[in-house]
């Protein structure tokens, strides 16, 4: 078993390299010049001299395979470069977005346990019943819809049309000294009271 796992792990490496190379090629096939985009994002006039300087800063003046190996090495070191927009390290931006991402993941898991699990047990207990067929039909339809489109539809229906919840920016605030599940419950309570007060 251990030998099989080691073999499978070793087989992943060539696949990762192939996927990374394809991704890098696709990035380089983009019609826009990254140096010009970086200048325009920072509201700098993209003169030929400025574009050339930005290309040197981004390492775009190096040969293709040199850039690929440097990019791959930096990725293994978790160095994803600097954001064009904020001029901060990308890894720092990712870590900033990690708490709300974990919050959303925990919320999805919570809804799965509360809604999906009982429905699944019901379908298992009563196979081929009307409820079982209805639930399976709904699952098939929802699975066929792309997640991003389904999310937009739910936001429009639940938050905009029926105003059951509210759409708001995520604000990174410190909630006392609580951590873990206590913080999660306080976040849910804050969201519930905010929505209830707004809809009252």
Considering the chain, what percentage of its residues have pLDDT values greater than 70? 81
SS3 72: helix
By the 8 A CB rule, do 51 and 36 touch?
Answer: yes
Taking residues 46-59, report their average pLDDT. Answer: 86
Residue 198 has pLDDT above 50, yes or no: no
Q: What is the gyration radius of the CA atoms in the chain, in angstroms?
A: 24
> pTM (2 decimals)?
0.58
In a domain, 150, yes or no: no
SS3 180: coil
In a domain, 85, yes or no: yes
Taking residues 21-46, report their average pLDDT. Answer: 85
Most confident range (mean pLDDT) of 7-11, 106-110, 134-138 is 134-138
Which DSSP letter does residue 82 get?
B
User: Using CA atoms, how far apart are residues 38 and 32, in angstroms rounded to an integer?
Assistant: 10
In a domain, 71, yes or no: yes
In a domain, 189, yes or no: no
Distances (CA, A) of 125 to 48, 132, 140: 70, 9, 20
User: Using CA atoms, how far apart are residues 169 and 192, in angstroms rounded to an integer?
Assistant: 15
So what's the pLDDT on residue 195? 44
Q: What is the pLDDT of residues 173-187, one digit of tens each?
A: 444 444 444 555 556
SS3 170: coil
**What is the count of structural domains for the chain?**
1
User: Using CA atoms, how far apart are residues 48 and 31, in angstroms rounded to an integer?
Assistant: 17
In a domain, 157, yes or no: no
- Could you give the angle at the alpha carbon of 143 between the alpha carbons of 142 and 145, nearest 5°? 65
In a domain, 163, yes or no: no
Residue 196 has pLDDT above 50, yes or no: no
Which band of pLDDT confidence, cut at 50, 70 and 90, is reported for residue 161?
A: confident
In a domain, 50, yes or no: yes
Domain range for 53 is: 1-92
So what's the pLDDT on residue 178? 42
Q: Which two tokens stand for residue 1?
A: 């078993």
In a domain, 29, yes or no: yes
User: Using CA atoms, how far apart are residues 99 and 165, in angstroms rounded to an integer?
Assistant: 21
Q: What is the pLDDT of residues 40-49, one digit of tens each?
A: 887 788 888 8
By the 8 A CB rule, do 199 and 163 touch?
Answer: yes
User: Using CA atoms, how far apart are residues 184 and 102, in angstroms rounded to an integer?
Assistant: 10
């Amino acid at each position: 078993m251990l030998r099989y796992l080691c073999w499978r792990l070793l087989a992943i490496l060539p696949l990762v390299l192939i996927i990374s190379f394809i991704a890098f090629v696709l990035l380089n096939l983009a019609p826009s010049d990254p140096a010009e985009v970086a200048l325009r994002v920072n509201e700098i006039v993209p003169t030929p001299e400025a574009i050339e300087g930005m290309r040197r800063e981004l390492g775009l003046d190096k040969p293709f395979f040199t850039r690929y190996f440097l990019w791959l090495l930096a990725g293994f070191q978790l160095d994803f470069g600097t954001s064009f927009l904020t001029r901060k390290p990308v890894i720092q931006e990712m870590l900033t977005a990690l708490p709300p991402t974990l919050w959303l993941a925990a919320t999805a898991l919570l809804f799965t346990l509360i809604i999906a699990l009982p429905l699944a047990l019901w379908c298992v207990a009563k196979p081929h019943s009307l409820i079982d067929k209805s639930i399976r039909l709904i699952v098939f339809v929802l699975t066929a819809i792309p997640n991003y489109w389904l999310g937009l539809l739910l936001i429009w229906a639940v938050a905009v049309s029926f105003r059951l919840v509210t759409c708001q920016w995520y604000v990174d605030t410190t909630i006392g000294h609580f951590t873990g599940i206590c913080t999660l419950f306080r976040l849910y309570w804050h969201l519930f009271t905010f929505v209830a007060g707004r809809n009252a």
